[in-house]
Amino acid sequence: MIKYQLLCDCEHDFEGWFRDSADYDAQSKDGLVECPICGSDEVRKAVMSPAVRSSRNSSDPQRRLREITGDMAKAVERARDYVEKNFDYVGDKFPEEARKIHYGEKEERGIYGEASGKEVKEMVDEGIKLAPLPVAKKNTDKAGLPKVSGAGAKKLDS
């Protein structure tokens, strides 16, 4: 395995692990290496030397933590946007639809929706592959807590 420090065309720096340098070259050529912050596939290897420091790698740990937190928030927002644009929203029918797909009763496709903690545990125990969807800023109140809908006070995101 080889680790490269990478930069996108927006100057976001991040690292990537590859089997070897040829693996990086092949993935990069095919546009498969992309920035986790902005999604750009215009990525290049950064200079990797202990003596060279990026302006983002500040000696101030609090500043660096704020930068990382901001980058993570952007990546979470991009992930949520991707799911909302490319997966089918099934609402509170998520457990039922996920099971039908898992057991081959329906064609495999990406879905998202709501499920209770108990339902999530049951699906995981059944071997159904799922992941929590980060709460979108637009679905939170001023305190950052999930908003609830008026019909049955059900969480919009679980």
Per-residue pLDDT reduced to its tens digit, 51-65: 344 555 556 788 888
Beta bridge partners of 89: 112
Q: Average pLDDT of 111-127?
A: 92
The structure's pTM equals: 0.50
Amino acid identity of residue 104, one-letter, is: G
**Sign, Cα dihedral of 31, 36, 39, 40:** negative
Q: What is the pLDDT of residue 6?
A: 93
Q: Average pLDDT of 108-115?
A: 92
Q: How confident is the model at residue 153 (pLDDT cuts 50, 70, 90)?
A: very low
What percent of the chain clears pLDDT 90, i.e. is strictly above it? 34
What angle do helix axes 94-102 and 117-125 make, rounded to 10 degrees?
10
Of 92, 95, 94, 96, the closest CA to residue 149 belongs to 92
What percent of the chain clears pLDDT 70, i.e. is strictly above it? 78
Average pLDDT taken over every residue of the chain: 80
Among 13-17, 48-52, 72-76, the least confident range: 48-52
Give the Cα separation of 78 and 72 in Å (integer).
10
